[in-house]
Amino acid sequence: MEFHFSLDTIKEAAEKLWDAAGNARVLAFHGQMGAGKTTFIHALCQEKGVKDTVGSPTFSIINEYAYTENGLIQRMFHLDLYRLKNEEEALQAGVEDCLYSGNICLVEWPEKAPGIFPEDTLHVYLDIIDSTHRKLRIAYK
Ligand SMILES: Nc1ncnc2c1ncn2[C@@H]1O[C@H](COP(=O)(O)OP(=O)(O)O)[C@@H](O)[C@H]1O
Ligand SMILES: [Mg+2]
């Protein structure tokens, strides 16, 4: 699946991605700095009704958010691996525990520790078309 979106259509884009994601728990977001990973993850969280403020987890590698689904409070993780060097550091930071926790994990900079991702990770690729438009493509590797 592949489509273009702008900030004006990001809500619809987020809905579309959740529909396409099905039962996927781990979503890995690829794309250069400024591609819109954090912004799109923010939109995904809003779609799920996350109440906590969702920002870029610049200083913490792992951010935990709460949302309600089927009347139950669920947890969702937003991870930014940018500051990590490798798998070893990711393990020490507790990233693997999140990835295999069964909770939804939205991960920026997955290429920092490619070896620790579950087999069924949904990979999302964001590309800059121009200052306001982004291309989104998804693939199971
Ligand atoms: N269609 C779009 N989707 C996402 N971000 C966009 C879009 N158009 C413009 N932007 C801007 O691009 C920047 C993306 O930054 P950010 O989400 O932090 O990127 P990343 O996390 O990939 O480094 C933001 O300033 C955002 O307002
Ligand atoms: Mg970011």
The whole-number pLDDT of residue 60 equals 84
How many C-beta atoms surround the C-beta of residue 79 within 10 A? Answer: 29
**pLDDT tens by residue, 46-89:** 999 998 766 666 568 999 999 999 999 999 999 999 999 999 99
The whole-number pLDDT of residue 51 equals 83
The alpha helices in the chain, defined as continuous H runs, are: 10-21, 37-47, 87-92, 95-99
Pocket test for ligand 1, best of 5, 12, 38, 39 (most atoms within 8 A of CB): 39
Mind listing the domains of the chain with CATH numbers?
A: 2-139 (3.40.50.300)
Which residues make Cβ contacts (< 8 Å) with residue 128, sequence separation at least 6? 31, 32, 34, 35, 36, 134, 135
Bridging pattern class, strands 122-128 and 104-108: unpaired
Model-level pTM?
0.96
Atom 14 of ligand 1, residue of closest alpha carbon: 36
How far away, in angstroms, is 110 Cα from ligand 2 center?
12
Handedness of CA 11, 17, 22, 24 (dihedral sign): negative
Q: Is 91 helix (H, G, I), strand (E, B) or coil?
A: helix
Q: What is the DSSP letter of 93?
A: T
